[in-house]
Each structure stands twice: as C-alpha cells, then as structure tokens.
Amino acid sequence: MYGVLGEDKSDVAILKVLIRRLADDKSISIKAKGYSGCGEMLKEGGKQLKLFVKLGYNRLIVCYDADNEKPNNCYQEIVKRIIKKSGLTGSKKEIICILIPIQEIEAWILADIEAVTHIFKNWHPKPIFNPESIDNPKEYLEKLSRDAKKRPRYNHATHNEKVAQYLDLEKVIQKCHSFNPLVELVKSDVGNYSPNKKRF
C-alpha cells in the first residue's frame, strides 16, 4: 500500500494514476496528501509520513519539484525536513522513495506531449525530445496549448490526471531520468532513501 506526499493535489493525482498503471493494478490502495505548496509540505510532511505507516501504508513517496534547484539540494531538504522528522529509517518495514521531477512534474507529461490528443481532439503538438531541459514545464505546457484565440486549453489542476491515463510510459522512462525511482519502487519494491545512501 502506498502513501504519497506532493506539493499540491494535482501532483498526487497524477502519481496515483502512474503508480496504478506501472503496477497494472487499478485496485492498489493509495493514500495521498497534496499540500498548498512546498513550504506546507516541508513543515507538515513528517507527521503525515508517520501517520501513513501507522495506517499500514509502507511504500512511501515524497514528490518535490526541483524547479531551478539542484536535485541533490531538494533531496537533502526532504531528508532533513520530512524524513528525519518522521522518525522513519527506510528499513524493510517501510520503503521510502524521494521523487525530484526536473523542473516540475509536468516535464513527465511533455515527454509524451502527443498524449494530450486523447483529451483535446484538435490539438496535435509535436514531440519534445528533452523535456527535462525546459524551464517551467507547467507554464510551457499551458502556453503550448493556446488555441486560435490565444487562450490556454490546458490547466494542470484539471488535466494532469486525465492525460496521465494515456502517457506512453516507455517514453517517460527514456526521456525523464527523474521518473525512474518511481518505476523502480513499483516494479521492484526498491526505494531510493536510506540513512547512509545518497541518490544524486
């Protein structure tokens, strides 16, 4: 069973879809908490992780967009302000996975931007070959979606979860290194956190 923390509701919504798709199991139990930004998650996340474990959720995911920070700095911030405060150790009892999307989780959507056609029948964007190199993927995606009247069709809060149902996950794996820890967790029960291990 999975316990998922994210900076906002749309992040945890997309993660729930991706976990179930990677596992090929729609019945997997996932408890998720989306905050109103990274500040709130860093402040409250430790308590929530501890609660997840108390409720029997032993595969734990913390997702924190890198934005313009170095992934290792974000990783260490999560360790210091969430995991250590939770008192969890990343033992066999609980498996902890820290996800640091580069720059934002919307980069994973840009990896298979053609998937938006399933939601927007008249929008046929060209493939993007290096989505993790794009600054502000969320803003870029919404700008890219503008119609003839320059109005954005795409809204991350509404559409991330819907588009995630159609993403070609092999493309996301190939184009987004930051997606791989989630794949490893779901496929092999391997987390990327332990007290003496650095991932980045």
pLDDT tens-digit readout, 145-179: 998 788 899 999 999 999 999 999 999 999 999 99
Q: What was the pLDDT predicted at 197?
A: 59
Question: What average pLDDT score do residues 59-66 get?
Answer: 97
Contacts of 152 (CB under 8 A, 6+ apart): 142, 143, 145, 146
Instruction: Return mean pLDDT, the chain.
Output: 94
- Tell me the percentage of the chain whose pLDDT exceeds 90: 87
Please tell me the distance from the alpha carbon of residue 168 to that of residue 184, in angstroms, as a whole number: 17
Query: Domain 2-104+175-188: which CATH class?
Result: alpha beta
Domain extents in the chain: 2-104+175-188, 106-172
What is residue 147's predicted lDDT score, i.e. its pLDDT? Answer: 83
pLDDT at 93: 83
